[in-house]
Amino acid sequence: MKPNFTKFFLLFISLILCMITCKTPVNTNVQKKTGNSWIEELTIGKLQQGYKEGKYTIEDVVKVYLDRINEIDKNGPRLNSIIEINPDALKIAEELDKEAAAGKPRGPMYGVPVILKDNIDTHDRMPTTAGATALKNSFPKADSYVAKKLREAGAIIIAKSNLSEWANFRSKMSSSGWSGVGGQTRNPYVLDRNPCGSSSGSGVAVSANLCMVAIGTETNGSIVCPSNNNGIVGIKPTVGLISRSGIVPVSFTQDTPGPMGRTVEDVAITLGALTGIDSSDTKTYASQGKYYTDYTKFLKKDGLHGKRIGLSKKSMGFSDKVDTLMNKTVAFLKANGAEVVDIDFPKGLNYEDPSFQVLLYEFKDGLNKYLAGPGSDSPVRDIKELIEFNKSDSVELRYFDQGILEQAEQKGDLNSAEYKKALATMTKATREDGIDKVMNTYKLDAIMAPTGSPAWKTDLLLGDHFVGGSSSLAAISGYPAITVPMGFIDDLPVGVTFFGRAWNESILIEIAYNYEQGTKNRKAPKYSISD
């Protein structure tokens, strides 16, 4: 039989076209995930049930996660989400197993492997770097409040995650997820896409099932944006609900740590384990009588019933495809007992530039105190020394400048009239004239908006290419927000954010849980490459 050359030619052409246009897995071994696939998408509840039934030990679980970090993060797709693995993780797991055998398991996070963003201090054999080369050998002399609370609750801190260096407060033109210590973090859905930041590694590690939950930090968007880009749930709490002591600071007014997980239930469990009053962080005093140690009571499958939710049209319009998903989300909310009304924020609210000025002042003040503090092991003792260090380093200024560091260094102290005016302006605009006024006017339980766009391609030459987002009002006001997966555009996830009044995490969890349970939009990543 003569070969059909026309058929062979057409087959060859189709294969070439597929190579050019298709998103293809880069590592078939990762796709098979043999040996440890049972851990994927496991929740805290199911994990702890497995402990009780004797299906596995804590040491078994930690080994699986460490194997996955080596297979997926360090090799395979090379996600670069992890800066440091805890060398004592297995030893800690063994000790917790002994406690369980003795009938003395610890609290609500018992046996839960957690990863911390590497601007959160841990007093162990892992440094806290904030992604900066200057701090790569800086070992804090005490646990942060967050690390302490996690250990008390029975969690195991198995690693520290990569981040946008200095929590993305170093250069206006930079790539989210890049740091001098960790390099560029990659999006697990499509590897040349960006994970967003600054809690980049935390978002990626959770999405890729390298841990059960992770802790991120946010000043403006740094929890909700990486949650959006990596298809997970993230809570940005009210500032003061969780202590910031022992966290490399950007802003005393806006900074907060928060949990990031694959389900609303997991982040609710984690949130309750982290709350409390800390004398080292005066912001937490305002949470007295307003926080819960157990937010799982708000996981209501009818949590949407009777809720009145404002749709922020101002946050839409940057993408027709995102708008389509938002409209679908609105229809679901209405079908499940919520009332959704279009809202408008007052025109001329002035908060973006005042917020940036506040950040410059507070960054200088807070970082200088952190670097020179008694708990610090930093070789640089203030921003001025840091700037000089970076100038002589071969990595730090390779891609991006340090313009924000230099701007902050030029600012005065917190007694400056410019600082006080900017703080008052942004606070009034986002609270009294912003969220509070709108919620009072429209009689709302919450406000909703798209969290952001699908992930953009990572660009180390020109930096990030943000298209849309809705983090600023909640971030600058210090009010809570939660983002939940809303769906996919091609292979890339996007989320919806619900935000509202201070200390109303409970209401947001009710809304988000009902929405999540009714839609099940979360899908695990496949580590493909762009067309």
Give the pLDDT confidence score for residue 376 in this predicted structure.
85
What's the pTM? 0.94
**Which pLDDT score is estimated for 2?**
37
Provide the b/e sequence for 21-59 (b: ≥16 CB within 10 Å).
eebeeeeeebeebeebeebeebbbeebbebbeeeebbbb
Query: What pLDDT score does 104 carry?
Result: 87
Provide the pLDDT for residue 19: 37
pLDDT attached to residue 254? 98
| 3-class state of residue 331 by DSSP | helix
CA–CA dist 377, 38 (Å, integer): 40
At 514 the pLDDT is: 98
Residue type at 292 in one-letter notation: Y
Report d(CA 516, CA 470) in Å as an integer. Answer: 20
- How is residue 37 annotated by DSSP? G
Residues marked as catalytic: 117, 198, 222
Task: Please identify every stretch of the chain with a pLDDT value under 50, giving residue numbers as ranges.
Answer: 1-34
Question: Rounded to whole angstroms, how far apart are CA atoms 262 and 44?
Answer: 10
The string of DSSP codes covering 474-514 is: HHHHT--EEEEEEEEETTEEEEEEEE-STT-HHHHHHHHHH
Q: What is the pLDDT at residue 23?
A: 47
Topology at the third CATH level for domain 33-357+416-519? Amidase signature (AS) enzymes (3.90.1300)
Residue ranges of domains in the chain: 33-357+416-519
Q: What are phi and psi of 214, to 5 degrees?
A: -135, 160
